[in-house]
Amino acid sequence: MCSWVNYRLISKLFIILFIFGVSGCAKTKKEAQFIPTPIPGPEVPVKTQVYFWLTSPEQSIYFKKQNIALNFSNAASTYASIVVDSTQIYQSIDGFGFALTGGSAYLINHLASQKRDDLLKELFTSDSTFIGINYLRISIGASDLDATVFSYDDMAASQTDIDLQNFSIEPDTHDLIPILKSIIALNPGIKILGSPWSAPAWMKTNQSAKGGSLKPEYYGVYANYFVKYIQAMKDQGITIDAITPQNEPLNPYNNPSMEMLAAEQLDFVKNYLGPAFQLANITTKIIVYDHNCDVPAYPLTILNDADARNFVDGSAFHLYAGDISALSQVHNAYPDKNVYFTEQWVGGPSNFAGDLNWHVKNLIIGAIRNWSKNVIEWNLASDPNYRPHTDGGCSTCLGGLTIGTSVSRNVSYYIIAHASKFVNTGSVRIASNIISNLPNVAFQTPEGKKVLIVLNESNSPQTFNIRFNGKIVTSTLTGGAVGTYVW
């Protein structure tokens, strides 16, 4: 403890101690007054021309905007370059999103109202960190990811309803339609594709929701079933942009399901569905096939018929078999017809790194580089036990979201987010070259922004250039990482 002295002496001592920094009472006082505890502040954004969003396979970074300065320059570089060329334009893009199954709608609709509203904003708007989903696929009647099997015109055994007087979309008014209305309020331009898993059982050869095929005498009735569906949804304020005549027409084993061979779908579209739409002044697109890439002959059978082709907008594909290049095969045969990618599941439990790599490479990059106008993942939400699903439906389909006591985001959420947030409807694919271990795809948005999605499919970090208009910017992706670059 310092002893007390008179005022003039202590003043002199204080000056000396302050100047020379000697130890003692003055130093103790100085430390207390002038050495504060550091307090971390907010991250200061760097100035950058290229915005960079990253997901890492080891799950340390989930779709996060990186605070890195990426600015174009004329600097020389020895790294390989991804050259983006906006003068070479390919197909226009409809969007990226999910199947909004009946089960997904049920889980979202039964959240507390504020949590539900916040989640829908996150999913269907693009502000902040929201992901801007702009394309949905819904089932016409039940899919296998509904809790129960139903159509819009179920009848008792041995009864029929050829005038469709019993037709009603009432089963969808509890969850699906309310959620769709909320989504449309957030994103009025969202595109919606409808696909049936089965016709009503009374129209089928086996009188069952599972398997069987559509009886020829009911082709006209079933065409009118589609017309009534589109009109009923329109009355609810929901525009169906496109339909497929049958989900997975070569798979009669799901519940519900229905087989529809290529010749049967050709007849149905050419002589019944197309004319019914025309008569009712329905402009909803007809997209054929809607199954795996291993049978491109199926859609080509329909497109080879000139009369059927007049009613068809394009063909839809899944990738549980075959190669994604099948889309280009069909496109090259009929370049005036569109191709779409409408379904791919993630099996639970997910291998995050492996699923991220495969889906980004084959779908977000692969399907788009093979002329697809969209990419849809299966499906938007499931509970922790992969429910709801029908008896015999998919029991291990992992949603983009898991909704239980809380909401968690799974790998397909991030797969879609890397495209949907930045590539809005009306964007176009533009040219970009592939360099070793770095598959990629590039877009230009209606606002003129450039978007480049890059996957490092190797196990080691890769440094590369992005070259645009003669200038470069250099970036690095760790092994297995996905980056979206926007400028």
Query: How wide is the angle at C-alpha 201 spanned by C-alphas 196 and 206, nearest 5°?
Result: 115
Cis peptide before 188 (omega within 30 of 0): no
Q: Which of 122, 259, 343, 457 is catalytic?
A: 343
Compute the distance between CA of residue 4 and CA of residue 6 in angstroms, rounded to an integer.
7
Q: Which of 122, 248, 377, 457 is catalytic?
A: 248
The yes-or-no answer on residue 170 being catalytic is no
Secondary structure of the chain as H, E, C letters: CCCCCCHHHHHHHHHHHHHHCCCCHHHHHHHHHHCCCCCCCCCCCCCCCCEEEEECCCCCCCCEECCCCCCCECCCCCCCEEEEEEEEEEEECCEEEEECCHHHHHHHHCCCHHHHHHHHHHHHCCCCCCCCCCEEEEEECCCCCCCCCCCCCCCCCCCCCCCCCCCCCHHHHCCHHHHHHHHHHHCCCCEEEEEECCCCHHHECCCCCCCCEECHHHHHHHHHHHHHHHHHHHHCCCCCCEECCCCCCCCCCCCCCCECCHHHHHHHHHHHHHHHHHHCCCCCEEEEEEEEECCCHHHHHHHCCHHHHCCCCEEEEEEEEECCCHHHHHHHHCCCCEEEEEECECECCCCHHHHHHHHHHHHHHHHHHCCEEEEEEECCEECCCCCCCCCCCCCCECCCEEECCCEEECHHHHHHHHHHCCCCCCCEEEEECCECCECEEEEECCCCCEEEEEECCCCCCEEEEEEECCEEEEEEECCCCEEEEEC
The amino acid present at 351, given as its one-letter code, is N
The yes-or-no answer on residue 343 being catalytic is yes
Supply the residues annotated as catalytic: 248, 343
